[in-house]
Structure 1
Amino acid sequence: MTTRDLYNVRPTGPAPGPTPLTPDEEQRARGNLFTELGNTIADRGWARFPAYSPEERRRLVAVGRMLSEHWGIPVAVEAEDECAMRLSLRGHELTV
């Protein structure tokens, strides 16, 4: 079979894309982000992480809330641009 033989083939069903995480996968993802981003923030006062979808942004906001509760100090979560979020402690926020 060659590429020429497939000229009349069309995709069926929804377009491929990311599938939502199961509750267990979501918990593990947040736990990993909590550890990695928490360590980075503790070292330098801020961390940047990519967030391309609304789900990823919500996840990072939840991690920021978890870190705030864990440390007892506020962790700011801000959109740095359309592709990244920044989590920071007071004094390390984005300046415009």
Structure 2
Amino acid sequence: MIRDLYNVRPQPVEGGPTPLTDEEERRARAVLFSDLGNQIADRGWVRFPAYSPEERRRLVDVAHRLSAHWGRRVFVEAEDQCAMRLYLDGHGTQPAQALPPHA
């Protein structure tokens, strides 16, 4: 028996990220804009995981959109290989605190 397959997309190479459709990408950015924007408005900064270059580009775009929306720059920096930090001026990376010497 032959079955017709609808809405089937080729799968990426094993282990690679699955690309989002244009509609999925638009909705993902809208949710990030709202959720991250609310957290930044509440405390001045937010940390969010970003494991792939696509996720990092998405967060940078959200920061630019928030900057345009608020008329205030939202800064973006990579904290490590797995997380990005978005923050307003004055809520950026704090200097490392000196640790007391071991006794």
Q: Given the two structures, how large is their TM-score scaled by the length of structure 2?
A: 0.77
Partner of 1:7: none
Within 5 Å, give how 1:1-96 maps onto structure 2. 14-96=13-95
How far did 1:14 drift?
3.0
2:89 maps to amino acid: R
CA distance in 2 between counterparts of 1:60 and 1:14 reads 24
Q: Which has the higher helix share?
A: 1
2:65 maps to amino acid: M
- Could you tell me which runs of 5 or more consecutive residues in structure 2 were left unpaired when the two chains were aligned: 1-11, 96-103
2:92 maps to amino acid: E
How far did 1:93 drift?
0.9
Larger deviation, residues 17-26 vs 46-55: 17-26
CA distance in 1 between counterparts of 2:60 and 2:14 reads 28
How far did 1:15 drift?
1.2
2:33 maps to amino acid: F
For this pair of structures, how many residues does the alignment match?
A: 84
1:32 maps to amino acid: V
Q: CA RMSD in A?
A: 1.4
3-state secondary structure, aligned to 1:81:
coil
How far did 1:16 drift?
4.0
CA distance in 1 between counterparts of 2:40 and 2:94 reads 17
- Could you tell me which runs of 5 or more consecutive residues in structure 1 were left unpaired when the two chains were aligned: 1-12
Q: Given the two structures, how large is their TM-score scaled by the length of structure 1?
A: 0.83
CA distance in 2 between counterparts of 1:52 and 1:14 reads 17
CA distance in 2 between counterparts of 1:26 and 1:14 reads 20
Taking only the aligned residue pairs, the percentage that are identical comes to 67
How far did 1:22 drift?
0.7
